[in-house]
Structure 1
């Protein structure tokens, strides 16, 4: 079974030895006897396919070892993707070679865990390759028998005596060297006999291996890798290289480049290349079979691990190696069990749909913050989908859109018309009133506070006297309309009628006091109130709204399980009118939140709230209280800088859900603790339509994860 490994851009090879260590399971011939014959020995084959912009890495093991191999790979490189795949060795090579130890296996290759071994030089070969050319590198390893080290121990004893242990190979080079040494020893022996006959003394013993031995001991001692080699398990290893390139001269060049790259591992031992028969070698590569050799090459686990390292981010980028470009974390299971769909999460090449759980309404109705740059998908994607999913799951949602009406366009493309209520201000006139109080006989005091809040502006808060007379007028109102306040203050006959219907309270006394004042004094009291109405009275559209009777009842709207879209286009109304109208709507929502009888979750979506900051006071309260009334507020904006600091702190302290698209470095720095283990760099490099989601569940704050957010409803299949 072949497993394909896709590296992630954060990997390191610190635990690479875990793969070889875990898979080193030796089975004796007796253990492999099945009654009819011998099962094939276990093996581990690490295969690299070098290809222009498509270099891939594979591990092939017996089918019975697949699960163990997968776990071992994930232990060595926790964030890589592992998937079963077909045999990558598909194209017949033009040239092949094998790599083996130059010296006896007691000597180790260079083992330096601070480097990537031969990998950088191997990957550099890609720069010389063209489209369609491939290089296969197979490191085939089978666990060594339990007494493999005996030969190494004997060789070490020989080495300590001054002799060089030899690796036996049946090739021209080895046979020639052995023949020359035999002839040299014969000639030297004859000379020694002649010397003894003539002088009576023998010649000094001949040490033909002295130069090679001295070269190994150039630092005064054998390397630590050699000295410790026999202390652990080992593999019998054979390395094969195959080049797919029709140009023979080019194939020769590529083969030499790859095989010479392994000289980066030169230590007490080294790897040397020998040309081989392409047909036989490729057949063995596909069969994953160890060939019979005169003397086996036993690699320690440390040595073997230097042969299957994966490229780090630097090399992934340089050589365009397919990778996992962003940190992937396993999505908490609570977000995969259904609910309000919002996107997909890919983890180790597996894609899962993710949802906002709907079983716990307290968590569901916590505030939500969506932050992202222009064009990131907040409005058409996240906002429109949230409205759609709320309605489809039996809830309701109201979205206020001060821009181009995109939310309505998207929602109406998905939901049937009977589930949508669309109000477009600027074209429709609505009464400026608070008719919601009609749903409760005891709501007058709430209405008074609401209207006082509506009149208060950042630079013009109502003073004590103004507030007192305003509250008295509100307590006397019969219809809850804004123009009724003016009528009470300006129409003496109507005011007298209202006073007659009021109970004997301080508010009646206050209004009676105003009624008995001189005209000059009345104008003095009324002047601050008119100042606050100046924006309305001076705007043609708002002035017309003062006179109409048909309006919006938020209690009625928020009691339904529908999508309510209110467009307040800045292009038609102007920024001042947008700010004031949405402030009025927010005060009505705040009233309706406590007055509605239904208790199903209902969501308020505010897109680009920086355009209507008159409502900040309401949001401060709603951020921490709305959940109790099963109303969830959602803000969609570009940066924290667009909101007042005190509002930001209140929202953060309320424990909101966060969805953060690619944004500024400051945004991610302010949320560094919340988005961990993701970093600021991860945030600013988010792909388009992707967002970091920091969500809560019944078990508390869950581990953040990156999701590809759902496409706009118009692109979804209902």
Structure 2
């Protein structure tokens, strides 16, 4: 079995020694014999191979192990590097080129330097990537197989002899070595000699040459390092280091590899040979020093195939829906994350944050189209530039399944009314039903008038709002009325008088109701008490706003347009139609006018979803708004009502460049159980604002996202899943 080890960005190497120790599956001679019908077979010890493949474009890590111990190895791998990915590899790692081997320069009882606080020799090996040219490759292969746990007796014997001034040469063999050679010809009687012998056969000439060696003289003078003294405490492996280089500069690269591995030089070191004839016995700690994975600091510097997230289990609730969140991976397995199907959860607010060209539009279009296909209604209020978002969504929804409202279409002027409410009234409606509708619409009118604000319009005072409310109440107790009817009551005394008269005879108000006094105050009278006009100074803020609306020819036409009762947002939503509202910037360059129109449509949508019966079973509507900060009054409207949206099955999907653009709306959206999707390239300031929400991910991880990936914080029912995913492909 062979796997590629793909490190995560927060990988650490604190458990590598434990991995090597716990996978020391040594089998004695008897356990390696098997009897066939015709002959006796002696099996090899399990061989494990660790590889590093270095190219100019990437550095990859592999582990090859026997299928018979695969389950044990995989368990230990997940303990050692629990958030890394272990991707099964079908084909062997193949590099054609010149091959050499690393060999210990001294007897293997002397240890290499081991200090797992430092990432050597890995750091030195990684540096070789900087000098590689196109198509050059380096493959480092460490093969190791376990030796008997009783090996420590031999090492301890060598250390005793060292203390007596005797240092073993590599040419000196122990009975252990001889026993292995004999065992290879299947002489079972030497089994005890193999596993338990510890005496040495000493070549005195070799010993004298060894002691004369400067290195050994220094060792005898200074003593053995702690790494050597501790070597026998660990399990040991017979190791082979094979380096293959594909390059016309192989000599240079081989020297570089030798220097890299000799960053481990301690009491022992490495030398490069064409073929090693000696046993390189390393303990678990020495192998662990070599098998370290690159941590984040090195992943940032070198081109390494890494996972820029800690792979986190995605709950089942986020795997069974129809609307894609993206694809994530877990241990090499691709997981398709999807929004939940539960209406209550789907209606929670969502925020997509990212810079230009990060994939915001693509993701939003897919979100809209897939929700439509899932049977929900989608409502887009698009007032940005030339309505590219709405137009792109429009391409993917059949004409008979969508309603497109283009505010610049002069052949289809949209009446500024609240048809869904006014059509509820008829000649048979009782007084209470009339008052309910009028009261609902009076608050919508107030928001609409408030949306038209600048220095020229002046302040909208409490008395002005009182007059506006009175006018709306006497108008909207009648069916088929528009916003312009309210404006006419405020400005023209004859029309005002007529509505007062109708209101008195409607049985909707008491004779002394305040609305009659408020409306009467607006009458301008002469000395004899005759009405001659309107006291516009009392409602100057409203008049200024009406004037501003009328300055735009489209809005002026909307105010006067007759009601089309076929335009019914309740019916559109319940039929699962998607509603695309286009307010092109070229036709409505004044941002205040665009805010007014957006506020009007939002207030009408909000009214429509409230007027539906049995809200728990009604069809869900998804409201999509890009750059909501550009329409401050509409934003204030959302802030006031967003906590009620879910109850009426109105979900919100916001897209922004910066979270700070939400201003005070952000806290209201947060309180509504918001989900976040933070796209690659997101500004650090955004991540700082959500530092607690994105835990266990860090700000740096958010800044290090690969292109077209997102860091997600998804509410799936009073609990959150945090994971990184690749954005879904365009529709």
Question: Would the aligned equivalents of 1:342 and 1:385 in 2 still touch at CA under 8 Å?
Answer: no
Instruction: Identify the residue that residue 414 of structure 1 maps to in structure 2.
Output: 396
Within the alignment, does 1:430 sit opposite 2:414 as a pair? yes
Cα 1:131–1:609 change in 2 (3 A) is closer
1:57 aligns with 2:61: yes
The structure-2 alpha-carbon separation of the partners of 1:705 and 1:415, relative to structure 1 and needing over 3 Å to count, comes to same
| TM-aligned CA deviation for residue 327 of structure 1 | 5.1
In the alignment, what sits opposite 2:601? 585
Structure 1 gap segments, 5+ residues each: 171-177, 186-205, 282-292
**Segment of structure 1 superposing worse, 130-139 or 532-541:** 130-139
Matched, 1:567 2:585: no
For structure 1, which segment, 14-23 or 488-497, has the greater mean C-alpha deviation from structure 2 after superposition? 488-497
Q: Counterpart of 1:306?
A: 289
Task: Report the CA distance between 1:595 and its aligned residue.
Answer: 0.6
Q: Does 1:483 align with 2:491?
A: no
Task: Report whether the alignment pairs 1:265 with 2:264.
Answer: yes
Q: 1:30 corresponds to which residue?
A: 30
Once the 2 structures are TM-superposed, how far is the Cα of residue 509 of structure 1 from its aligned partner?
3.2
| Corresponding residue for residue 448 of structure 1 | 442
SS at match of 1:306: helix
| Alpha-carbon distance between aligned partners in 2 of 1:126 and 1:644, rounded to the nearest angstrom | 47
SS in structure 2 of the partner of residue 228 of structure 1: helix
Identify if the C-alpha distance between structure 1 residues 689 and 472 changes in structure 2 by more than 3 Å, giving closer, same or farther. Answer: same
528, 532, 540: which one aligns with 2:553? 540
1:341 and 1:261, CA in 2 relative to 1: closer, same or farther beyond 3 A?
A: closer
Cα gap change, 1:686/1:101 in structure 2, threshold over 3 Å: closer, same or farther? Answer: closer
Gapped runs of 5+ residues in structure 2? 174-200, 426-432, 526-531
In structure 2, what is the Cα distance between the partners aligned to 1:501 and 1:616? Answer: 40
1:485-504 matched pairs, under 5 angstroms: 485-489=486-490, 490=492, 491-492=494-495, 494-503=498-507, 504=509
State the Cα RMSD in Å. 2.9
1:272 Cα shift?
2.8
Match of 1:705 in 2: 723
Which residue does 1:11 correspond to in 2?
11
Q: CA deviation at 1:32?
A: 2.6
**C-alpha spacing 1:122/1:511, structure 2 compared with 1 (3 Å):** closer
Distance 1:17 1:560 in 2: 63
Structure 1 residue 642: Cα displacement: 2.4
Q: 2:685 aligns with which of 639, 657, 666?
A: 666
- In 2, distance between residues paired with 1:262 and 1:138? 13
Contact 1:366 1:655 (8 Å CA) reproduced: yes
- Provide the C-alpha distance between the structure 2 equivalents of 1:336 and 1:586, rounded to a whole number of angstroms: 32
SS at match of 1:675: coil
Matching of residues 365-376 of structure 1 within 5 Å: 365-376=347-358
- Describe how 1:97-176 pairs up with structure 2 within 5 A: 97-168=100-171
Judge conservation of contact 2:622–2:653 (CA < 8 Å) in 1: yes
Q: Check the 8 A contact 1:499/1:508 in 2, yes or no.
A: no
Query: Greater CA deviation, 412-421 or 516-525?
Result: 516-525
Q: With structure 1 as the length reference, what TM-score do the two structures score?
A: 0.85
Distance 1:257 1:466 in 2: 84
Deviations 1:564-600 (A, max 9, x none): 1000111112223211111111221221121123622
Distance in 2, Cα, partners of 1:413 & 1:406? 11
Q: 1:27, CA displacement in angstroms?
A: 1.4
**1:209 Cα shift?**
5.0
Distance in 2 between residues matched to 1:141 and 1:589, nearest whole Å: 69
Matched ranges for 1:192-203 at <5 A? none
**Residues 21 and 234 of structure 2 are in contact (CA less than 8 Å); yes or no, is this contact kept in structure 1?**
no
507-516 or 350-359, which deviates more: 507-516
Determine which of 394, 399, 405 is the counterpart of 2:387. 405
Distance 1:110 1:259 in 2: 15
For residue 232 of structure 2, give the secondary structure of its aligned residue in structure 1.
helix
Inter-partner Cα distance in structure 1 for 2:283 and 2:202: 32
SS of the residue 2:143 aligns to: strand
CA shift for structure 1 position 340: 1.7
Distance 2:132 2:172 in 1: 33
Change (3 A) 1:655 1:160: same
Deviation at 1:317, TM superposition (A): 5.0
User: Which one is further off, 510-519 or 18-27?
Assistant: 510-519
CA contact (8 A) 1:622 1:633 kept: no
- Residues of 2 paired with 1:453 and 1:49: CA distance? 65
CA shift in 2, pair 1:417/1:38, >3 Å: farther
In the alignment, the residues of structure 1 paired with residue 542 and residue 137 of structure 2 have an alpha-carbon distance, to the nearest angstrom, of 82
**What is the SS of the residue equivalent to 2:34?**
coil
Task: State the TM-score, normalizing by the size of structure 2.
Answer: 0.83
Give, in angstroms, the shift of residue 512 of structure 1. Answer: 6.5
Q: 1:77 and 1:52 mapped to 2: Cα distance? A: 26
Question: How many angstroms does 1:540 deviate by?
Answer: 1.6
Q: How many Å separate the matches in 1 of 2:301 and 2:462?
A: 69
Relative distance call for 1:126 and 1:710 in structure 2 (3 A) is closer
Q: How many residues align?
A: 661
The 3 A distance-change label for structure 1 pair 357 and 209 is: same
Alignment of structure 1 residues 547-558 onto 2, 5 Å: 547-551=560-564, 552-558=567-573
Structure 1 residue aligned with 2:631: 612
**Does the 8 Å contact 1:555/1:592 carry over to 2?**
yes
Give the one of 457, 465, 468 matched to 1:467: 465
> Deviation string for 1:275-323 (max 9, x for gaps)?
22xxxx9xxxxxxxxxxx6x74332111111222233344445443333
Partner Cα distance (1:488, 1:53) in 2: 74
Task: Name the SS for the 1:672 alignment partner.
Answer: coil
Task: Call closer, same or farther: CA 1:123–1:667 in 2, change over 3 Å.
Answer: closer
Aligned residue for 1:510? 517
| Cα distance in 1 for residues equivalent to 2:683 and 2:328 | 23
Q: CA deviation at 1:694?
A: 0.9
Q: 1:164 to 1:515 in 2, by over 3 A?
A: closer
Q: For 2:585 and 2:641, how far apart are their aligned partners in 1? A: 25
Equivalent residue number for residue 193 of structure 2: none
Describe the shift of the 1:510–1:687 C-alpha distance in structure 2 as closer, same or farther (beyond 3 A). Answer: farther
Q: Give 2:231's aligned residue.
A: 229
In structure 2, the CA distance between the partners of 1:330 and 1:567, relative to structure 1 (3 Å rule), is same
Alpha-carbon distance between aligned partners in 1 of 2:336 and 2:207, rounded to the nearest angstrom: 76
Q: What do the CA deviations read for 1:444-490 (whole angstroms, capped 9, x no partner)?
A: 21212222232235675643332333222212112331111133341
Asked whether 1:340 is paired with 2:323, we answer: yes
1:418-439, CA deviations, whole angstroms, 9 ceiling, x for partnerless residues?
2111111111411112223233
Asked if the contact 2:147/2:236 (under 8 Å) is kept, the reply is yes
* Greater mean alpha carbon deviation, residues 138-147 or residues 123-132: 123-132
- Please tell me whether the aligned partners of residues 659 and 686 of structure 2 are also in contact (alpha carbons under 8 angstroms): yes
In 1: Cα distance, 2:207 partner to 2:31 partner: 48
